[in-house]
Amino acid sequence: MRPPAQNAELALLLEVSGTPKPGNVDRRRNLSELRYEHFLAGAVGARDGLRMAEHGAALGAAFERAVAGMSAQRGGNTQFGALLLLVPLTRAAGEDLSPPVLESILEGTTVADAADFYRAFEHVDVGVGEPPEGLEALDVRRGSDAIPDLEERGLTLLDVMDRSAPVDDVAREWVTGFERSFIAAERITDADGPATDRAAVTFLSLLAERPDTFVAKRHDEGVAREVTDRAADLYDRDALDRDPEAVEDFADELVSRGINPGTTADLTAAGLFIALEHDTLEI
Amino acid sequence: MRPPAQNAELALLLEVSGTPKPGNVDRRRNLSELRYEHFLAGAVGARDGLRMAEHGAALGAAFERAVAGMSAQRGGNTQFGALLLLVPLTRAAGEDLSPPVLESILEGTTVADAADFYRAFEHVDVGVGEPPEGLEALDVRRGSDAIPDLEERGLTLLDVMDRSAPVDDVAREWVTGFERSFIAAERITDADGPATDRAAVTFLSLLAERPDTFVAKRHDEGVAREVTDRAADLYDRDALDRDPEAVEDFADELVSRGINPGTTADLTAAGLFIALEHDTLEI
């Protein structure tokens, strides 16, 4: 058995290697400043923080360390969202990767975890939207400057995720028991072929059923909806198998329009990790 | 600065991601039973042994641990030869990656290191040739059964490499001060573009100038020479840039004939590591 931190790093590597993954960097596609090799280095760099999580460290500290390591490359943010899923999953897997253990870990987060989460934003430029009205003081882009406001309100990391859940599908996982991550793991298990092919089809299935919240933030909800509708059309007609060129064209088009469904990639990485841990995906 | 063990793992990942790398698995090519994902898992698994080397562990122990971790995937041997280069390089980098430090590390190896090297063969099936006449007792395929013979003769790990050097270009690095590894690093530094493109052109240049000893063992010297002559033709006319299809065709042909220049890939990984450590390759 590979230890959880190794599986988490491997999940990041398999995720970025899945191709085609429309709109994202994959092993056949670089964006202009963000290349495949930056994701490899990001995964390698994240490992020490993931190991902290495996060994039971506080989620905030492990996450900040993972993000600091991930950021030690020149491409910018590669896997911030994926780590926000993988750190709690890896911590749970250090004990037992089951919904009750995971839930108790999330509910056990503290204000200090939330502070470390805010500190993590100082390591790398993360694409986030404007905070909701009245929550400007808690804008993550303030980094550690927001910590006194966090402390004053007594918000734990789970509280912070709860506030972001309506507009961010990574945060939403924290308040739904990682619902879509577990669904992704099932699909990866049920798919055929190499892990990287399973990653690609699972990515497309997830994109097909719910607009990507990263796309919605960077562009708008209309664009996110359009991308999902087109992914649904490709997925429904099994285009990865039957009309792969159509998926490649869609991938190229999204890249050229600067549309990157990053949240969907994060969920795919989480699903890969769960399937590796449950030994339903063997490498 | 990324710590040496991270750079070593990243070098393995960049090496396998370089494409086209005629005859080998790369990020566009799987062999039938040996896939890209096995190399990703092999690199992830090797890290703990590489960390031991970074922190000054005995070369044999670090190597055996790296090989054990590398082997924890279902594809078989992925990076045994590359680790035989990366473990001493990583150990040197923990102090200073310079020829004198490297040399003193190699000369400091013991019979116990040689014994651990033999134990490493028990973790994975490595493609090796028949031992030279009179050296049957030292056949690496005997694994730990050969250790009493090693001890009786008082052979250190450097002595073992010295005996293999005439027929194995990985072992040859140990007795030439890692000559071709440093040459590979220079070429990676001087090349342009993404690291994975640099890996591909450096691989072709190395293959073009010396027959691959793994191909010579698995097939024969005539085949190894033919592969090198054809690589030289492609390299000399700058085919990666000017006639990429010819290189892709050559890659496909070698894969279909089961010809895998694995030693040349090992040297490429070593060169990537040195360039990362010397900061002449930035990711």
Q: Is the pLDDT of residue B3 over 90?
A: yes
At B191-228, the pLDDT tens digits run 999 999 999 999 999 999 999 999 999 999 999 999 99
**Residue A27 distance to chain B (closest CA, Å):** 6
Question: Crossing angle of helices A195-209/A4-17, nearest 10°?
Answer: 70
- Cα B211 from Cα B225, distance rounded (Å): 5
Residue type, B54: E
User: What confidence category does residue A31 fall into, taking pLDDT thresholds of 50, 70 and 90?
Assistant: confident
Q: Mutation test of the interface with chain A: which of B35, B44, B74, choosing the one with the most A Cβ atoms within 10 A?
A: B44
Q: Is the pLDDT of residue A82 over 90?
A: yes
**Per the confidence metrics, is the pTM higher than 0.95?**
yes
At A110-154, the pLDDT tens digits run 999 999 999 999 999 998 888 877 788 999 999 999 999 999 999
What does DSSP assign to residue A191?
A: S
Q: Is the pLDDT of residue A33 over 90?
A: no
Q: What is the pLDDT of residue A8?
A: 98
At B7-36, the pLDDT tens digits run 999 999 999 999 999 999 988 888 878 999
Q: What is the pLDDT of residue A182?
A: 98
Q: Residue B15: name the closest of B252, B269, B238, B282 by CA.
A: B269
Q: For residue A28, list chain B residues with Cβ-Cβ distance below 8 A.
A: 27-28
Nearest CB among A9, A17, A37 relative to B194 is that of A37
Q: Is A265 helix (H, G, I), strand (E, B) or coil?
A: helix
User: For residue A216, what are the contacts with CB-CB under 8 A and spacing of at least 6?
Assistant: A167, A223, A224
At B69-108, the pLDDT tens digits run 999 999 999 999 999 999 999 999 999 999 999 999 999 9
Q: For residue A6, list chain B residues with Cβ-Cβ distance below 8 A.
A: 44-45, 47
Q: Residue B86: name the closest of B110, B69, B111 by CA.
A: B69
Residue range B115-137: mean pLDDT, rounded = 89
Q: What is the CA radius of gyration of chain B?
A: 18
Q: Quote the mean pLDDT of chain B.
A: 95
Q: Is A20 helix (H, G, I), strand (E, B) or coil?
A: coil
Q: What is the pLDDT of residue A28?
A: 85
User: What confidence category does residue A243 fall into, taking pLDDT thresholds of 50, 70 and 90?
Assistant: very high
- Say if residues B79 and B46 touch (Cβ distance below 8 Å): yes
Domains along chain B with CATH numbers: 4-277 (1.10.4200.10)
Which residues of B sit within 8 Å Cβ distance of A? 2, 6, 9-10, 13-14, 17, 27-28, 30, 35-38, 40-41, 44-45, 47, 72-74, 194-196, 282-283
At A48-78, the pLDDT tens digits run 999 999 999 999 999 999 999 999 999 999 9
- Do A194 and B6 count as a contact with CB atoms less than 8 A apart? no
3-class secondary structure per residue, chain B: CCCHHHHHHHHHHHHHHCCCCCCCCECCECCCCCCHHHHHHHHHHHHHHHHHHHCCCCHHHHHHHHHHHHCCCCCCCCCHHHHHHHHHHHHHHHHCCCHHHHHHHHHCCCHHHHHHHHHHCCCCCCCCCCCCCCCHHHCHHHHHHHHHHHHHHCCCHHHHHHHHCCCCHHHHHHHCCCHHHHHHHHHHHHCCCCHHHHHHHHHHHHHHHCCCHHHHHHCCHHHHHHHHHHHHHHHHCCHHHHCHHHHHHHHHHHHHHCCCCHHHHHHHHHHHHHHHHCCCCCC
Which residue matches tokens 């085609």? A20
Q: What is the pLDDT of residue A134?
A: 78
Residue range B229-234: mean pLDDT, rounded = 97
User: For residue B111, what are the contacts with CB-CB under 8 A and spacing of at least 6?
Assistant: B150, B151, B154, B155, B156
At B141-173, the pLDDT tens digits run 999 999 999 999 999 999 999 999 999 999 999
At B271-283, the pLDDT tens digits run 999 999 999 999 9
Q: Mutation test of the interface with chain B: which of A9, A25, A44, choosing the one with the most B Cβ atoms within 10 A?
A: A44
Residue type, B182: F
Q: What is the pLDDT of residue B2?
A: 94
Q: For residue B41, list chain A residues with Cβ-Cβ distance below 8 A.
A: 2, 10, 283
Helix (H) or strand (E) holding A23, with range, is none
At B259-274, the pLDDT tens digits run 999 999 999 999 999 9
